[in-house]
Structure 1
Amino acid sequence: MSLTLRQLRYFEALAREGSFGRAAAAVNISQPALSMQIRELEDRLGAPLIERLPREVRLTRIGREVLRRASHVLAEMAELEAVPRRARGLMGELKLGVIPTVAPYLLPVALTRLRARDLTLEIRVREAQTAQLLAGLEAGALDAAVLALPVDTGALEAIPLCEDRFVLAGSAARLERLGPAAEDLRPTELGADQLLLLDEGHCLADQAIAACSLDPTRRRVDLGASSLATLCGLVAEGFGLTLLPEIAVRSELAGAPALRLRRFSAPEPRRTLALLRRATGGMQEDWFAELGAVLQASLGDLLDQAHRIAPVAE
């Protein structure tokens, strides 16, 4: 009996979930059926792939090597299955990843535009931090992802989408303490003791630390905030200051009416947002350019709204 892709998918799910019960639920089969498929895979390879413990499974040394190669095979199969759709352009199924500091603002605008282009387009969105999205691209679990540069692109290709500048957000009283609005304001003038940032792992926190030249080992007020909305609600009530991307300005002001904004002096700190996908060696990728154009237009609308609310100095 030959190895099957089904067995490899089941084995990958088991390695990812760490138990037969969770893996069976993830691939939508019964636990005995999954166990039988894994046994057949081990028999075919002639070696144990997992250690069966009371409450979990653990990969053997051979199992880890099989998983590495199986993941590569499955990623290539995902690419193969996507060839017809990609050759025809942006249609069929689209698996898109977006970082959390972009998703709540971009997706409502962009998904509406994508559906208006093709009501049959099936869009599956995954919101996750940069490292998880890069892993999803590498494994073929995602077609494309919206990330903030720089990242280690490796075997990835990118379409730059926009320059997203940061504005300083806080209560009126907090901002007034920094001096008159007409005075120059630079991010390096902000102290670590007054700046609230997202949890570690969010690229926006790293970018803010770099922009303000903060010591990354010095702890700030630890509130465990995992979203910009939480941070904006806190700083609107006077609990420090935060850096807010322009694309988030309209939404966060609507959610926290007491929030006030102030522009930094030129050159303003910013991040570059980009759309990334796996490189395909010159394969025609009309869908990627089409998707990039829709996302660029959607982000452009968000930036225009931000500039009306917080005008950029000429």
Structure 2
Amino acid sequence: MAASGNKISNAILCVNWIGLSDQLMALTLRQLKYFVATAELGQISQAAIQLTISQSAVTTAIKELEDTLGTQLFSRAASGVVLTHTGRRFLNHAYTILSSVDEAMRIPNLESTLTATLTLAASYTVLGYFLPNHIQRLNTLYPHLTIRLHELNRESIEEGLISGRYDMAVLLTSNVDNPELVLEPVIHSARRLWLCAQHPLLKQESVTLADVAAEPFVMLTVDEAAVTALRYWSQTPYKPKTLLRTSSVEAVRSMVANGSGVAILSDMVYRPWSLEGRRIETVQLRDPVPPMSVGLAWRRHQEMSPAMYAFREYFRHMFMEPRSLVG
């Protein structure tokens, strides 16, 4: 438990930067978690979607945090909210606090006696941009849990779950509509417009799909991304002027960064730089674009094994059950 005490001490030290030592007990992980989600997504509504809670809960938590700190963390913008200078500084410390406390609280589980094997299927995007960090954490939490990981497309994942070849799956759930499967959402990652630096659309107060339709468009196809895109485009009188269809996220990134076209992709796969070192900017569209949802899946009426239960509870703990910093 000495290590746990050190972690929490480090978290407390991180808060002292703004003179909060007397107010630390008023902070909660819920407030910090909601603050971080809003800072990352730039919109309270999108943070609420990702956290699977109401917008009012996010707004209240941020207001409580600002009252505790005695300073404003966000300012209003046309596209949502933007971190103030203090907010940007506090975000780094919020990351450290959440990480330190989370690691400290997990220390007692390091010697878990769970000994089992979990056969897990995952789609390309999930495996490339979401799952590896969590697999590493699970390996630390459950050193005797063997996870056999398989990368597959959605159709193969569904068939494998139903036939019993795979115990569980982590995949994009928006295209799954199979009554034989149970789906449990984990995160909802906002989709935004990707633009090169200095793109004229960055100067507009708001950007719509009509504006995007006038630009050369780079269409990602992997994990049925094109199907999803055409679904929300079909609800408008516009259609993308597709310059390139590609299964490579890095190809999209390079094309956009070099000014060859624009794209609409999720924050989960966003990186601010291309392989060539060119900057990529993002804009929240005024028109509704559904987020990219990632979730767990398993066969309906399947008896949940200890390995499956541990895997599901890990993601519930990480994303669905905010914990108070005290009590």
Give the % identical residues: 22
Letter in 1 for 2:212: L
Q: What are the Cα deviations for residues 120-159 of structure 1, in whole angstroms up to 9, with x where unaligned? A: 2222222222112112212222111122233122211111
Alignment check: 8 A CA contact 1:187 1:211 kept: no
Partner of 1:203: 224
Match for residue 234 of structure 1? 255
- Report the equivalent of 1:160: 185
* Equivalent of residue 117 in structure 2, options 93, 111, 131: 93
Q: Say which of 183, 196, 209 aligns to 1:171.
A: 196
Out of 211, 221, 233, the position equivalent to 1:212 is: 233
Moved more, 290-299 or 210-219: 210-219
Task: Please state if 1:288 is matched with 2:308.
Answer: yes
Alignment of 1:104-123 (within 5 A): 104-123=128-147
Structure 1 position 192, deviation (Å): 7.6
After TM superposition, the structure 1 stretch with the greater mean CA deviation from structure 2, 114-123 or 264-273, is 264-273
CA shift at 1:293, angstroms? Answer: 4.0
Q: TM-score, normalised by structure 2?
A: 0.54
For 1:191, which of 190, 209, 213 is the aligned residue? 213
Structure 1 residues 188, 285: CA separation in 2 closer, same or farther (over 3 Å shift)? farther
The 2-side partners of 1:93 and 1:288 are apart by 9
2:247 matches 1:222: no
Distance 1:277 1:216 in 2: 37
Q: Is the 8 A contact 2:121 2:152 kept in 1?
A: yes
User: Partners of 1:192 and 1:96 in 2: how far apart?
Assistant: 42
TM-aligned CA deviation for residue 257 of structure 1: 4.3
Alpha-carbon displacement from aligned partner over 1:187-219 (angstroms, at most 9, x marks no partner): 4542286221123x6322222222333799988
Distance in structure 2 (CA, Å) of the matches to 1:130 and 1:286: 25
CA contact (8 A) 2:113 2:144 kept: no
Q: Where do 1:13-162 residues align within 5 Å?
A: 91-150=115-174, 151-162=176-187
Give the direction of change, closer, same or farther, for the CA distance of 1:288–1:185 in structure 2 (3 Å limit). farther
Query: Residue 208 of structure 2 aligns to which amino acid in structure 1?
Result: R
Bigger radius of gyration, 1 or 2?
1
Asked if the contact 1:231/1:242 (under 8 Å) is kept, the reply is yes
- Conservation of the 8 A alpha-carbon contact between 1:167 and 1:263: yes
**Is the contact made by 2:209 and 2:238 (CA closer than 8 Å) also made in structure 1?**
no
SS at match of 1:220: strand
Equivalent residue number for residue 264 of structure 1: 285
Q: Check whether the contact 1:161–1:273 (CA below 8 A) recurs between aligned residues.
A: yes
> SS in structure 1 opposite 2:227?
helix
C-alpha deviation, 1:166, in angstroms = 0.6
Aligned length: 206
Cα deviation for residue 254 of structure 1 reads 7.0
Instruction: Give the SS at the match of 1:239.
Output: coil
Mapped contact 1:94–1:123 kept (Cα < 8 A): yes
Identify the residue that residue 44 of structure 1 maps to in structure 2: none
The answer as to 2:269 corresponding to 1:248 is: yes
* 1:241-278 residue CA offsets vs partner (Å, 9 max, x unmatched): 1122112224x647554222222237453122211001
Change (3 A) 1:289 1:205: farther
Give the whole-Å Cα distance in 2 for the aligned partners of 1:124 and 1:234: 35
- Using the size of structure 1 for normalisation, the TM-score is 0.56
* Aligned residues of 1:172 and 1:260 also touching (Cα < 8 A): yes
Report if aligned partners of 1:98, 1:125 keep a CA contact under 8 Å in 2. yes
Question: Counterpart of 2:294?
Answer: 273
- Per-residue displacement from partner, 1:151-174 (whole Å, max 9, x unpaired)? 12221111111111112112114x
Structure 1, unpaired ranges of 5+: 1-87, 301-314
